[in-house]
Every structure is written in structure tokens, then in C-alpha cells.
Amino acid sequence: MSEINNIKSSYNRLLQGNRDWAAIKTKEDPEFFKNLTMGQNPEYLWIGCSDSRVPANEITDTKSGEIFVHRNIANLVVHTDMNLMSVVYYAVEVLRVKHIIVCGHYGCGGVLAAMENSDQGFVNNWLRHIKEVYQKNVIELESIQDFKERSNRLVELNVIEQVRNLAKTKVVQNAWKNRTVQVHGWVYGFNDGLITDLNAMHDELIDLEPIFRYKL
């Protein structure tokens, strides 16, 4: 097969897959798409890694309409990221989600790249945030001899840091003041398909250093 035919067939596979999926969904539940047109009312905001192996709905066995999703390299919560901050604002203030989940994953390419000193081009700027997490926890991390174990721990520490970053936002603090929103830190493992809850949850401002607390 020529290269162009190869590209066409890999592309058409998705469109055919979509048609098959739509037909199955309609057969299973004739109201499925009609219900989706009525709007969304998700209870969860998912902040996950862009990694193709960590699809939010699939690994939590949830359906369209159940999870509001934002994904980026290594599931980072960066306060100057207009995209992420808009998603958080909309999810909390408008959709009024009950849970915000930061889900990292073991073997994360972004975390592994941040542990090296190689030049990752434009991505350097993004990975810098993970290097800061590494440096903040350097004593604990460098006491772990095995590289894979050390990287797994950095994956966890990175998730915990992102949960803390969420807690530092006015949007989340304001939500805590007025209602219950839980923030969770999870790590997904490819080896067994299971999610570990890191219990990094912040639902009280008490966990946050005074300098980060807003008078609301």
C-alpha cells in the first residue's frame, strides 16, 4: 500500500469507527443522542495527562456527559495557563461539579523527560514545572536508588503538587466557602489498569499555608 493510501485508511478507520459506534449506541438506547442534546450536568472535572493511554471515560467506565475533561502533558495545574484556568472556572462556577480529580499515571513521559537533562525544545518550558516539584522533594527522591521507583514517586508528588495548586486558586477557595467541592489526587497504572487514590485531598483551607489564603 502506498503511503498516502495508508494515511487515508488510518484516517477513514476513525470515521467508520464513529459510524459503527453511533449505530450501536442508538440500538442500545434510542434516546442516547437526544439526551446529550439536552445539555451536560457532569459531577466531575478531570485534569489528566494527554497520554493516549489514559482516556478519562474509558478507565472510569463512565459515559458521555459524566466527566468534564482537561488534559495536558503531565496533568499540570499552572495558574498562568488560560486554558486550564478557564476550564476550572467553568467547571466550578457554572457546571458546579462536586469533584475535581487530578489524575497522573506511572510511566508518564512528561515526568520522565523532566528527570533528564536533555533539551526537549519548546516543551522545556512546560516540564520546568515538574523540575520544580523534583527540586522541592529532592532529598526524598534522591534517597530512592531505583530510577523507575524514583520516577513513580515523582509522578505521585507531581499529582499532590497539582492538587495543592488547585487549592491555591480563588475559584476553588471560593467554592469551598460556599459549598462542598472535593479535590482528589489519583495515579493510574498501566500494569493492572487500577487507579490509586493518593488521599491528597484538600477540602479545608487549614491544609494551605496562610500566604495562599484569600479573604473571601
Distance between CA atoms of residues 36 and 119, nearest Å: 44
List binders of Co ion among 107-146 (CB under 5 A): 108
Span interacting with Co ion, options 17-25, 104-112, 127-135, 158-166, rule CB under 5 A: 104-112
Between 71 and 98, whose beta carbon lies closer to Co ion? 71
User: Has 105 been annotated as catalytic?
Assistant: yes
Active-site residue, from 19, 53, 179, 213: 53
Question: Using the rule CB under 5 A, which residue among 45, 47, 49, 113 binds Co ion?
Answer: 49
User: Has 53 been annotated as catalytic?
Assistant: yes
User: Has 103 been annotated as catalytic?
Assistant: no
Between 76 and 97, whose beta carbon lies closer to Co ion? 76
User: Has 70 been annotated as catalytic?
Assistant: no
CB of 49 to Co ion, least distance (A): 3
- Burial bucket for residue 106 (CB in 10 Å: 0-12, 13-18, 19+): middle
**Distance separating the N- and C-terminal Cα atoms of the chain:** 63
Quick one: cell of 187? 495515579
Active-site residue, from 70, 103, 108, 202: 108
- Burial bucket for residue 197 (CB in 10 Å: 0-12, 13-18, 19+): exposed
**Structure letter (DSSP) for residue 63:** -
User: Within a 13 Å sphere around the CA of 167, how many CA atoms are in the beta-carbon half?
Assistant: 24
Active-site residue, from 105, 129, 184, 202: 105
CB of 204 to Co ion, least distance (A): 29
Span interacting with Co ion, options 18-26, 61-69, 87-95, 101-109, rule CB under 5 A: 101-109
CA dist 15 → 18, 19, 21, 135, 146 (Å): 5, 6, 10, 45, 44
Q: How many residues bind Co ion (CB under 5 A)?
A: 3
CB of 190 to Co ion, least distance (A): 11
CA dist 127 → 87, 116, 168, 196, 199 (Å): 21, 10, 20, 23, 24
Between 155 and 175, whose beta carbon lies closer to Co ion? 155
Cell 488521599 appears where? Answer: 199
User: Has 150 been annotated as catalytic?
Assistant: no
Name the residues that contact Co ion, by CB under 5 A: 49, 51, 108
Catalytic center residues: 49, 51, 53, 105, 108
